[in-house]
């Protein structure tokens, strides 16, 4: 496993997404930004603020060896995340049914003997499928899902092995918090009822010291918007990019609320869905998010000491491979507009009359702004 040290960027150092998008909208500003960011010496899977860890750069390691670790297990076109803090473990999703033995083996290798919490983000097989195997092998204290029943055999097996432990699948409420060692887990979503199973995904924020993480399952744009409007604290360092990098997730509005340094995409090599989609990669690039992908890097492990975090990957991949989109791809394909929540007018990012950032709302299209009840600025939109 390759191992790199990532210095945490404080909120004061990190520019808002609006300002970054505005810069991308101006060709000269874009050119200056590219000239100022020389990535010729960047380590695999990183960006210019990722530097090699001298203690490990010449060797492979089994773990990032930190008091807090988040493992994005390479389960192909699926999702499974193991989290360890101070010797306690939780599992968020288990991949497909066929991934069950791989997940169990990985947990064994990490020294797992029991799980404090098991979360099924939602009832689709590529998230719940392998959880039955994990529950058949490891004792758990609590098991959670957004529903207690579903028609698929894989979900019914998940319920069966939960009940064999004398437990019931619990449906947690938004605002519920849990402790995992020194880490705090908070459920942020879903904040409404949805007919789309992806939007029912349990959204978890995890804080350890000054570092923060967001797990979103397959949450899509409708649930993202509702979550942003709920006022939840979404700003984190590391985002699990929703729905395997599909363009149905990771909307401009949501990404502006999260402003992560890193985006982790769990997807399969040459998967039939084309994940991650170019639109999503372009939006992440425009937002200055470092992309890490299991299809190219294998299992990705993030370790935190509460201040900084270390990223370990199984395989090598360059920045250009991880995010092959052109720097201005999304801004040329789709024009962003900035609304003023007070005046209800919307502007181009280059408008001289932009509101203060706290009064801004981002729209990904002209029609979206109009549908939200905003009118175009007469200065910048003719």
- Residue with the bigger pLDDT between 341 and 332: it is 341
pLDDT at residue 54 is higher than 90: no
* Over residues 123-133, mean pLDDT: 98
Return the C-alpha torsion angle 242, 365, 258, 192, nearest 10. -60
**In angstroms, what CA-CA distances link 377 with 336, 338, 352, 356, 364?**
14, 10, 11, 15, 16
User: C-alpha 289: how far from its chain's center?
Assistant: 11
Give me the helix-helix angle, 17-25 and 27-35, nearest 10°: 110
Whether residue 284 contacts residue 322, with contact meaning beta carbons closer than 8 Å, is answered with no
Question: What is the DSSP annotation of 187-229?
Answer: EEE--S--SSGGGG--EEEEEETTEEEEE-TT--HHHHHHHHH
Whether residue 47 contacts residue 7, with contact meaning beta carbons closer than 8 Å, is answered with no
Strands 337-340 and 360-363: antiparallel
Q: Write the CB contacts of 320 (distance below 8 Å, at least 6 apart in sequence).
A: none
- Residue with the bigger pLDDT between 54 and 102: it is 102
pLDDT at residue 8 is higher than 70: no
pLDDT at residue 22 is higher than 50: no
User: C-alpha 292: how far from its chain's center?
Assistant: 10
* Over residues 191-216, mean pLDDT: 97
Q: Please give the mean pLDDT across all residues of the chain.
A: 84
Classify residue 137 as exposed, middle or buried by CB count within 10 Å of its CB (0-12, 13-18, 19+). middle
- Residue with the bigger pLDDT between 125 and 42: it is 125
Tokens standing for 222? 């409708």
The top-level CATH class assigned to 50-331 is alpha beta
- Residue with the bigger pLDDT between 88 and 9: it is 88
Query: Dihedrals φ, ψ of 184, to 5°?
Result: -110, 130
* Over residues 3-18, mean pLDDT: 48
Question: What is the DSSP annotation of 101-164?
Answer: HHHHHHHHHTT-S-EEEEE--SSSHHHHTTHHHHHHHS-EEEEE-S-S--SSHHHHHHHHHHHH
Tens of pLDDT, residues 209-229: 999 999 999 999 999 999 999
Whether residue 115 contacts residue 89, with contact meaning beta carbons closer than 8 Å, is answered with yes
Query: According to the model, what pLDDT value does residue 49 have?
Result: 30
* Over residues 285-294, mean pLDDT: 94
Query: According to the model, what pLDDT value does residue 5 have?
Result: 53
* Over residues 175-199, mean pLDDT: 97
Query: According to the model, what pLDDT value does residue 334 have?
Result: 52
Query: Domain segments of the chain: what residues?
Result: 50-331, 335-376
- Residue with the bigger pLDDT between 157 and 59: it is 157
- Residue with the bigger pLDDT between 369 and 118: it is 118
pLDDT at residue 150 is higher than 50: yes
Q: In terms of pTM, does the model score above 0.85?
A: no
**In angstroms, what CA-CA distances link 7 with 15, 88, 204, 261, 273?**
16, 25, 23, 10, 34
């Amino acid at each position: 496993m390759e191992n790199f040290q990532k210095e945490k960027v404080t909120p004061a150092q990190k520019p808002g997404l609006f300002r970054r998008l505005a810069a991308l909208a101006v060709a000269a500003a874009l050119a200056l930004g590219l000239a100022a960011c020389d990535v010729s010496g960047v380590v695999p899977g990183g960006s210019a603020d990722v530097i090699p860890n001298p203690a490990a750069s010449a060797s492979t390691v089994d773990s990032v060896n930190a008091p807090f670790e988040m493992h994005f297990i390479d389960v192909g076109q699926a999702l499974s995340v193991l989290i360890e803090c101070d010797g306690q473990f939780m599992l968020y999703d288990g991949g497909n049914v066929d991934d069950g033995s791989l997940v169990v083996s990985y947990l064994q290798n990490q020294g797992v003997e029991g799980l404090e919490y098991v979360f099924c983000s939602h009832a689709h097989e590529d998230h719940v499928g392998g959880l039955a195997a994990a529950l058949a092998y490891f004792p758990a204290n609590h098991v959670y899902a957004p529903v207690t029943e579903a028609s698929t055999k894989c979900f019914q097996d998940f319920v069966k092995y939960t009940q064999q432990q004398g437990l019931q699948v619990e449906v947690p409420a938004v605002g519920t918090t849990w402790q995992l060692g020194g880490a705090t887990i908070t459920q942020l979503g879903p904040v409404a009822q949805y007919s789309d199973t992806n939007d029912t995904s349990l959204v978890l924020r995890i804080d350890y010291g000054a570092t923060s993480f967001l797990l979103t399952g397959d949450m899509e744009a409708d649930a993202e918007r509702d979550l942003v409007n709920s006022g939840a604290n979404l700003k984190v360092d590391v985002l699990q990019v929703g729905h395997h990098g599909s363009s149905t997730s990771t909307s401009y509005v949501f990404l502006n609320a999260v402003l992560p340094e890193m985006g982790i995409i769990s997807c399969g090599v040459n998967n039939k869905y084309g994940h991650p989609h170019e639109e999503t990669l372009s939006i992440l690039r425009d937002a200055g998010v470092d992309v890490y992908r299991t299809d190219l890097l294998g299992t990705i492990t993030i370790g935190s000491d509460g201040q900084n975090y270390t990223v370990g990957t199984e395989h090598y991949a360059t920045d250009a491979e991880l995010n092959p989109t052109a720097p201005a791809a999304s801004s040329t394909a789709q024009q962003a507009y900035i609304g003023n929540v007070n005046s209800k007018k919307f502007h181009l990012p280059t408008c001289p009359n932009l509101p203060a950032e706290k009064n801004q709302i981002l729209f990904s299209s002209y029609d979206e702004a109009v549908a939200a009840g905003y009118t175009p600025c007469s200065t910048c939109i003719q």
